[in-house]
Amino acid sequence: MNRGAFYGVIASLLWLRLHFPIWLILLILLAIYAVMGGYSYLSVIVRTTKRDVTGLTRYLQVLLRVRSYQKKNWTVPMVFETHVKKHPNKIAFVFEGREWTFKEIDEFSNKIAHVFEEAGFQPGETVALLLDNRPEYVAIWLGLAKAGLVTALLNHNLRDKPLLHCIQIADCKGVIFGSDFCDAFTGVRDQLDSSIKQYAFDFKNNVSIPASSINLDMKMEEASPGRLSGPQRANYGDKMLYIYTSGTTGLPKAAVIRHSRYIFATFGGFYACGLNKKDTIYVPMPLYHMSGGCMGAGMTLLFGCTAVMRKKFSVTNFWSDCTKHGCTVAQYIGETCRYLLAAPPRPEDKSHSVRLMFGNGLRPQIWEEFVDRFSSSTRKLLIAEFYGATEGNANIINFDGRVGAVGFVSMIAPSIYPVALIKVTEDTGEPIRGEDGLCIRCKPGEPGMFVGMILRNHPIRDFHGYADPNATKKKVAVDVFKRGDAAFLSGDILEMDELGYLFFKDRTGDTFRWRGENVSTSEVEAVISNVAALKDCCVYGVEVPGAEGRAGMAAILDPERTLDLKVLATGMSKVLPSYARPLFVRLVKVIDLTGTYKLRKVDYQKEGFDVDKIKDEVYFFDATSQSYVLFTSALYEQLKSGKIRV
């Protein structure tokens, strides 16, 4: 046992001693020792009891609150209105110098509800929202929810076919678009059904509203700020939002977010991370995404916290904003932590009051460096890394700062929270089944797909799928661990250690096989980024004529051509096995990211290394010199003809 594990055992024993009599502890430990097979399992029990008890306590808090709301048939707007009554003048959102009170958000949302109900929209119908980050964004969809409508939260970065697809797949009856996105919407509106109502919002300074569009600002001026009269228009289990997947590998899918799902996700984040209602939360992440729109704004709507918003994540302003507004909690997603770490040191790095950062996507390779740099002078920064698909039913969280972990499962009572890792095929990601036809659980140290068992109508374990029924079917496996059961397939490969901590490895489809070995693109990306001064990069597999499998290729952001390829090759050779090092390197001036800072690699993968079609410089790893050389048309022909063997 290493020193850290030893101290962990001692700490857990002390915790047990404070809570239970010594004779009971010894009796329980001896029973476990006898039944489970000795010291190794007993060690796991001792080292994880405190974590598991804390996790169970917080999970029960979530479950009890969620079941309570289910019985009361409370929706998200109804929970929000309880906070309006408690503290109408408390600050709900801070944005660009303006403070919005709970009362102001409530009245704004009430006006939206009146406008759309009076326009003839019926409960259950969908309205698309094309707008950037601002308090009005949340107030608009909140108001639509009060009228029983479903809001499709469009990624405002989308244009043309993807934007059109998102509006159509959700069967939208109306579209609200901001003035900054007028061109984007008018570029696709002629391809939409003519019955779809168009609402123009925030058209000021004499900016003309497109013909046939309704001026939403004027309609709201005429609307009542009071609540809708009559019965509630939606139920706890009804649809509230469509939140789209990021589309890293194709057109986005519209994930169904019901009131129940939103409440569970927000409550789960609040209790699991250890937040309190006095916290001020920094939310610079996209509100059309689950992280910003639910885990961020949801803390205001469902818990009465104050949230500080930004239109867009900014490396320069992140810590200065947190300091200025006294934020105690901040969000991160994707690569944002790497961007913060790559910035030059400044006094704000440690002068802030942030005690906790929660999110997903912090790479293990920079975790400790990030914590060391951005911990304040009086408090160590706690990272709460969570894992969970937007549409999934199986969310986990690492609330105790275990470096690199995205969550854990109890090794003492794994059935309490029914998630698991199952073995899947390396190339297709299909579940591998045993002779009995059931899936095979992974043991500690074995990578597998993360799945969540589905229980219909359960407030936490149900799976609501997508707007497209065919997409929903592809994410569900049946006869998983027993006949007739079902599970949500995350599509992500995780690995569990002996204590039950889970570590993200890769997404199915984001691995490639070269020289008979499987290569994780995310691991290679992390190494390259560290060697290349935290530059953006994405790694993917490409087919090479005459060779089995796919060779690695890396697209690296290097607009100024400052990357030393010799240093890169040397740095990778120290960490990566030869089969995992990219055979090709493409230096790009711009790298494509999703709105949630995920690297979009599908287009690079399609283009491959054909230098006759690619304008960027491509380099080829020369085994003789152990360095990268410019990949020319002549070398390309030699590779195709087999003169160069890889």
pLDDT digits (tens, 9 = 90+) for 317-360: 999 999 999 999 999 986 789 889 989 999 999 999 999 999 99
What pLDDT, on a 0 to 100 scale, did the predictor assign at position 374? 97
Architecture of domain 73-312: 3-Layer(aba) Sandwich (3.40)
Identity of the residue numbered 512: F
pLDDT at 514: 82
pLDDT value for 546? 73
Q: Measured between alpha carbons, how far is residue 288 from residues 48, 117, 142, 174, 379 in Å?
A: 37, 23, 13, 17, 32
Q: How far from chain centre, in Å, is Cα 508?
A: 16
Q: Can you list the residues of the chain whose pLDDT is less than 50?
A: 1, 248-249
Give the C-alpha separation, 610 to 633, whole Å: 8
Q: List the one residue out of 68, 94, 250 whose CA is nearest residue 165.
A: 250
**Tens of pLDDT along 163-219?**
999 999 999 999 999 999 999 999 999 999 999 999 999 997 657 899 899 999 999
Which of 493, 636, 621 lies closest to 553, judged by CA? 621
Instruction: Tally Cβ neighbours within 10 Å of residue 639.
Output: 20
**Domain ranges (residues) in the chain:** 3-67, 73-312, 410-506, 510-641
Q: How many CB atoms lie within 10 A of CB 634?
A: 9
* Cα–Cα distance for residue pair 157/247, rounded to 1 Å: 12
Contacts of 435 by beta carbon, 8 Å cutoff, 6+ apart: none
Query: Alpha-carbon distance 349 to 341, whole Å?
Result: 10
Backbone φ, ψ for residue 179 (5° rounding): -60, -30
Identity (one letter) of the amino acid at 168? Q
Is 510-641 in the same CATH topology as 73-312? no
Nearest to 391 by CA among 480, 278, 489: 489
**β-strand 511-514 against 627-630: which pairing, if any?**
unpaired
Distance (Å, rounded) from C-alpha 296 to C-alpha 93?
11
Q: At what angle do helices 135-146 and 76-86 cross, to 10 degrees?
A: 120
Total Cβ atoms within 10 A of residue 266: 23
Locate tokens 């990624």: which residue? 155
DSSP string, 293-345: IIIIHHHHHHH--EEEE-SS--TTTHHHHHHHHT-SEEEEETTHHHHHHHSPP
**Topology of the domain covering 410-506:** Luciferase; domain 3 (2.30.38)
CA–CA distance, 94 with 399 (Å, rounded to integer): 27
Q: Which of 422, 418, 406 is nearest to 455 (CA)?
A: 418
Q: For residue 553, what are the β-bridge partners?
A: 540, 584
pLDDT of res. 248: 47
Kindly give the pairing relationship between strand 627-630 and strand 617-622. Answer: antiparallel
Does the domain at 510-641 match CATH 3.30.300.30? Answer given as yes
pLDDT of residue 534: 81
**pTM, 2 dp:** 0.81
